[in-house]
Amino acid sequence: MKKLMLVIMAMVAAVALVCAGCGGGEKKAAAPKEKVMRVACEPTFAPFEFQKEGSKQFDGFDMDLIRAVGKQAGYKVEISNMGFDALIPALQAGNIDVACSGMTITDERKKAVDFSAPYYTSGLIILVNKDNDSIKSLADLKGKSIAVQIGTTGEKKGRSVEGAKIKAFNANTEAVMELQNKGVDAVINDAPVVGYYLAQGGAKVAKTVGSVMEAEEYGIAVKKGNKQLLDDINKALAELKKNGEYEKIYKTWFGETAKK
Ligand code: GLN
């Protein structure tokens, strides 16, 4: 009998030991971590991305759109700002997940990053001072000085003009300021941004010349090969277009319905 007791006690002790080894058996499963989407933009590009004076809040069409995309796809969206030419390197380095910054989908950029389906059709235009009567088209910019934003399609276009002197700025607002100060003859920038600037009072001092150059499509960029995130973004974009949310955001910033 005593022997049996000893055997039972040994068995109980063994089971206890094994259980202790299991450790954490009683802990609740960790709550699933919220997915975070680290977004960056260059916020001198109203009405797509900008910060109202004295505010840290990111406003604009792109900002509303990416927040809606994140919500739809189940991500917490965190937005930060950086220079336009820093966006693609930041994606490549994995410092951000998404660049949403009025970025034109180009073949060159497609080699470096992946783009979502296009979400906005844009194009470049020339801005000059109101009293300038000599510049009427791109051809007239030959040998003239042009302000652009670093790393943009506007910079590329400016550099394609024979003999033109290019002044490249970190911010779009600086390029426009340079024109106002008569430091350059023209600015080349995206037409909707120029249009917004003119509507916000810029028309008192400046005007556009010629028509919008070839169409450019904006895309949301992710690190090359980040298929999961790209799929999530594309699915969300499609859903927002279907459920009317995209249209609502478009109307907020452009006052009209999106061109189909
Ligand atoms: N759409 C232009 C480009 O991609 C300009 C973008 C911008 O200045 N934010 O180069």
Q: Does any ligand 1 atom lie closer than 6 A to the CB of residue 172?
A: yes
Does the pLDDT value for residue 124 go beyond 60? Answer: yes
Kindly indicate the confidence band of residue 7, based on its pLDDT and cuts at 50, 70 and 90: low
68 and 240 in contact (C-beta within 8 Å)? yes
Does the beta carbon of 188 lie inside 6 Å of ligand 1?
A: no
Q: Is the CB of 42 under 6 A from ligand 1?
A: yes
Q: Looking at residue 13, what is its pLDDT? A: 55
Section 92-111 average pLDDT: 98
| Cβ(45) – ligand 1 distance below 6 Å | yes
| Nearest CA owner, ligand 1 atom 7 | 102
How many Å lie between the centroid of ligand 1 and the Cα of residue 102? 5
Is residue 189 lining ligand 1, measured as CB closer than 6 Å? no
**Cβ(152) – ligand 1 distance below 6 Å:** yes
d(CA 209, CA 97): 37
In the predicted structure, residue 259 carries a pLDDT above the cut 70? no
Q: For ligand 1, what atom is nearest to the CA of residue 218? A: 1
pLDDT of residue 12: 54
Q: How far apart are CA 257 and CA 252, in angstroms?
A: 9
- Ligand 1 within 6 A of CB of 61: no
How close is the Cα of 104 to the center of ligand 1, in Å?
6
Candidate from 107, 153, 188, 189 with most ligand 1 atoms within 8 A of CB, to mutate: 153
Dist. CA 33 → ligand 1 center (Å): 34
Cβ–ligand 1 distance for 149 under 6 Å, the answer yes
Q: Give 8-17 pLDDT, tens digit per residue.
A: 555 555 555 4
Q: What is the pLDDT of residue 99?
A: 98
Share of the chain above pLDDT 70, in %: 88
- CA 34, 40, 43, 49 torsion-angle sign: negative
User: What local confidence, expressed as pLDDT, does residue 25 receive?
Assistant: 47
Tokens 């299991």, located at residue? 22
Give the residue, by CA position, lying nearest to ligand 1 atom 8: 152
Please say whether the dihedral angle defined by the alpha carbons of residues 241, 245, 248 and 252, taken in this order, is positive or negative. Answer: negative
Distance CA 59, CA 57 (A): 6
Mean pLDDT of the chain: 92
33-88: pLDDT as tens digits = 789 999 999 999 999 999 999 999 999 999 999 999 999 999 999 999 999 999 99
**248 touches 240 (CB < 8 A):** no
What is the residue-wise DSSP string for the chain?
-HHHHHHHHHHHHHHHHHHHHH-STTSPPPPPPPEEEEEEE-SEETTTEE--TT----BSHHHHHHHHHHHHHTEEEEEEE--GGGHHHHHHHTS-SEE-SS-B--HHHHTTEEE-S--EEEEEEEEEETT--S--SGGGGTT-EEEEETTSHHHHHHHTSTTPEEEEESSHHHHHHHHHTTSSSEEEEEHHHHHHHHHTTGGGTEEEES---SEEEE--EEETT-HHHHHHHHHHHHHHHHTTHHHHHHHHHHSSPPP-
| The pLDDT of residue 129 is above 50 | yes
Amino acid at 184: V
Protein residue closest via CA to atom 10 of ligand 1: 152
154 alpha carbon – ligand 1 mean position (Å): 7
The pLDDT tens digits for 153-164 are: 999 999 999 999
What whole-number distance in Å separates Cα of residue 13 and Cα of residue 21? 12
Span 74-103, mean pLDDT? Answer: 98
44 lines ligand 1 (CB under 6 A): no
